[in-house]
Structures are given as C-alpha cells and as structure tokens.
C-alpha cells in the first residue's frame, strides 16, 4: 500500500463525496498523532506541533503554507510561541475528504524532517 505522502490532493467540488467511515478507519493509522474532532458541526483533523521558540514555529507555519499552495489544499494554521496548531477539513463539502488525510501526512513528514528548527 502506498503511503499518503506519495499522493497529490485533488480538486474538490461541492458534490465531492466525503470520506466514508471505512475510508477513515483505513487512513487514520497513517496519521496517528492527529485528533478527529467536530467544530461548528464539521468533522476536522487537528494536531499541535511543538517548537523551542516562536521563530521555529513561524518557519514551520510558512513551510506548511508553501505545501498548502503546492497541494491546493489550505488548512487553518494557528502560530503561537513554541507551537503551531494545524486544522484540516474540506470547506466545500463541510467535512473530511481523502485530501485532508494526504495533507496531514505531508505536514507530519515536514515536521519529521525538522522543518522549523534552527
């Protein structure tokens, strides 16, 4: 099975189907550090990434922004001193799509590569 990091996010339309329970069960193990939550009635994926200072957190946020542009899939990014919170969901379908899991895996890969560290 190919990992999510080898996939490219695909353009979603309002009639795109959200991820099914079976798909979510298959994809979740590939992003174990992410939490599934519901906010404003919309299921989302969220993870907090920790850093030694604000500068490292900001560098990571900027790299996530670059990745989001490359993938055409844009998360909510909250940058604070020593931490960055990334929240993913597909706005057009007001839910989770495979793209959200792909993006989560790619963000994890960035973090694992030490992006943001001095």
Classify residue 56 as exposed, middle or buried by CB count within 10 Å of its CB (0-12, 13-18, 19+).
Answer: buried
CA distance 89 to 11: 13
Q: How confident is the model at residue 66 (pLDDT cuts 50, 70, 90)?
A: very high
Our CA dihedral for 7, 11, 12, 13, rounded to 10 degrees, sits at -160
CA distance 15 to 84: 31
What are the extents of the domains in the chain? 18-112
Question: Is residue 1 over pLDDT 50?
Answer: no
At residue 57, the pLDDT reads 97
CA distance 32 to 95: 19
CA distance 73 to 91: 10
Q: How confident is the model at residue 117 (pLDDT cuts 50, 70, 90)?
A: low
At residue 2, the pLDDT reads 56
The pLDDT of 19-43, averaged and rounded, is 96
Give CATH for domain 18-112: 3.30.1360.20
pTM of the complete model? 0.90
């Amino acid at each position: 099975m190919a990992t999510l990091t080898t996939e490219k996010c695909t353009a979603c339309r309002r009639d795109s189907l959200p991820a099914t329970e079976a798909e979510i069960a298959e994809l979740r193990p590939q992003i174990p550090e992410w939490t599934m939550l519901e906010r404003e009635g919309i299921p989302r994926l969220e993870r907090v990434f920790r850093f030694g200072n604000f500068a490292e957190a900001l560098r990571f946020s900027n790299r996530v922004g670059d990745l989001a542009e490359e993938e055409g899939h844009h998360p909510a990014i909250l940058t604070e001193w020593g931490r960055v919170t990334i929240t993913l969901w597909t706005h057009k379908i007001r839910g989770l799509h495979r793209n959200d899991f792909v993006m989560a895996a790619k963000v994890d890969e960035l973090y694992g590569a030490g992006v943001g560290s001095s």
